[in-house]
Structure 1
Amino acid sequence: MKKAKDTDQEQEQSIDPPTKLEIAQNQAEEYLNGWKRAKADYINFKKEQEQKQKELIEFANAGMLLDIFPLVDQFKQAMKHVPGEIKKSDWLIGVGHIQSNLSNILKSLGIEEVETVGAQFDPEIHDAVEEVESDQEKGIIVEELTTGFRLNGRVIQPAKVKVSK
């Protein structure tokens, strides 16, 4: 029994207990790693918040833009129904410039019109109001009733259209 006890004591003595310096170094390394993780988490959080704020501003403006979109349709409808005798009048050309300026302003804000007449119907961006007889292939848009719009690639107002049967 004495030999077994001596062997255990020798093994305990051969394993050096960690010194205070090693303990402090290990603890400092743990703290440093924790600080690095916290810093990375903070940077990621800050980026996420900036992105959310950017999206909030973009889509807060979308509500205001929804009020402007009917003007685009009204300009289009008015230009479709211009009597032939005034098509070349300076007044009408001026109205066309106003329409063009409105379109350019919307583009500068990230707004683009949804493609309609002649395009394949897509329920993601179009709202079919009616199916009509047409010489077009089935599912092709034959008439736009109201313009659809995207804001930075996202549909914020689907186009109301008539689709061929």
Structure 2
Amino acid sequence: MAAKKQQPTELEQELQAQVDALTEALQRERADSANIRRQHDEQIASLKNIVKAGVMRDLLPVIDNFERSLKHVPTELVDNDYVKGVQGVVRQFEETLTKLGVTRIKTVGEVFDPTFHEAVSMEDNGGDTEIVAEELQSGYALGDEVIRHAMVRVSLQKHGK
């Protein structure tokens, strides 16, 4: 004898509606939880970058001073072990910056970009294109964020020069 399919009772329908509502609520809560976790991870990454950029800002004058001192080494001392040691420290510092994701902003020969460059003087060479002619102080970026703008001299040059 074939069993007749019984129609759900009113109570069963009500219980199924509650199960459906609770299932939907659970799915929303899981999605909310995943979003909160993702936002938390993004905030942690952002805070790490803020701290890293702050530390870099504090350390950049140190590397600036090392580089300045190397520019003024008398020619007779260029091969001195002490000078080579300072050059090694500068190289190691630059390698560490690279490992941390900090990059030096390109300057000389580049089109002037106020996003990355801070012009301290402008020389008019009869052109209409602003080209960075000299770097006075290196600029650095951490990913898309500029830690310090490069201080530069700009020259107005004819396009293509």
What residue in structure 1 maps to residue 159 of structure 2? Answer: none
Q: TM-score, normalised by structure 1?
A: 0.83
What are the superposed Cα offsets for residues 107-141 of structure 1, whole Å, 9 maximum, x if unpaired?
A: 11111110111111111111111112559973111
Is residue 2:113 matched to residue 1:122?
Answer: yes
What are the superposed Cα offsets for residues 33-65 of structure 1, whole Å, 9 maximum, x if unpaired?
A: 111011111111111011101211221232121
Question: Structure 1: which 4+ aligned runs deviate by more than 6 Å?
Answer: none
Which residue, 138, 141, 155 being the options, matches 2:132? 141
CA contact (8 A) 2:132 2:155 kept: yes
Cα distance in 2 between the residues matched to 1:162 and 1:133: 11
SS of corresponding position for 1:115: coil
What residue in structure 1 maps to residue 42 of structure 2? Answer: 51
Q: What are the residue-to-residue correspondences of 1:72-151 with 2, within 5 Å?
A: 72-133=63-124, 138-151=129-142
Cα distance in 2 between the residues matched to 1:67 and 1:17: 72
Cα distance in 2 between the residues matched to 1:132 and 1:72: 28
Structure with the bigger percentage of helix: 1
> What is the alpha-carbon root mean square deviation over aligned residues?
2.1
Is residue 2:17 matched to residue 1:26?
Answer: yes
CA contact (8 A) 2:56 2:147 kept: no
CA contact (8 A) 1:120 1:141 kept: yes
Cα distance in 2 between the residues matched to 1:35 and 1:61: 39
Distance 1:84 1:135, change over 3 A: farther
Amino-acid identity (%): 31
Q: Which shifted more, 78-87 or 136-145? A: 136-145
Letter of the 1:26 partner, please give it.
Answer: A
Greater gyration radius: 1
What are the superposed Cα offsets for residues 128-160 of structure 1, whole Å, 9 maximum, x if unpaired?
A: 111125599731111111111111232121111
Which residue, 3, 25, 38 being the options, matches 2:29? 38
Task: Give unmatched runs, 5+ long, in structure 2.
Answer: 1-6, 157-161
